[in-house]
Amino acid sequence: MKMSETNPNSEERFRLSDRVLYRAVDDEGVLVHLENGRVMVVNEVALYIVRELDRQAITVSELAESVSCAFEVDAPRARVDVLLFLDQLREEQAIDTLASAGEEPTAG
C-alpha cells in the first residue's frame, strides 16, 4: 500500500482551498480548481471528506473519526483513507494547511 505523505499524528488543520468548488452528482462528487482548471471526480467517502474540509479547518484525527462514524468503517481504515485522500488533495493544491489554530493557511 502506498504510504501517505501526510503526518498522521500532526495537529495540522486542513481546509478546502477557496479556489476549489465542488458539487455532488449522484453518489459521486465533482471538484474544480478555478486556477489550474483541474477537475476531479471523487467517490462518496471522498465527497464526505471534501464537505468536512469545506465546513471547517480539521485535523487528520478528527476527519478519520468523522469518516469512521459516518461510514461505519474501523478507525485505522478510515485514517488510511483520509491520509491518502489528503495527499491527493494536496497534490492538486485543493487544500490549505493551518499549522495551528488561528494561523494563516498555506496552500497545499
Partner 1 sequence: MANASRLWGEKVVRLYLPMTMVWIDGLSGEQQRAIVRHYESFMADRSRASRKADVVCLAGRLDQPLGFPSGLFTVNGQYAPNKRRSGGEIEITGLDFSGRFVRDGRSPIQATLSVAREEELSRSGVLENFLRILLAHHVLDQGGALLHSAGVLYRNNAYLFSGRSNAGKTTLARKAIAAGADVLSDDINLVAFENGGFRAHKVPFSGELGRRAENLSGCGSFPLGGLVLLEKASRLTAIPVTPAEGVAGLLTGCPYVNDDAREFPALMDFLTRLVFHSPVIRLGVAKEDSFEAIISALLRCYENV
Tell me which residues touch partner 1 (CB under 8 A): 21, 23, 25-26, 28-30, 32, 34-35, 37, 39-41
Taking the C-alpha atoms of residue 46 and residue 52, their distance in angstroms, rounded to an integer, is 10
With respect to partner 1, which residue has the nearer C-beta, 26 or 72? 26
CB of 33 to partner 1, least distance (A): 9
Residue 45: enclosing H or E segment and its boundaries? helix 44-55
Taking the C-alpha atoms of residue 68 and residue 6, their distance in angstroms, rounded to an integer, is 18
CB of 76 to partner 1, least distance (A): 28
Grid coordinates representing 55 are 465546513
With respect to partner 1, which residue has the nearer C-beta, 31 or 64? 31
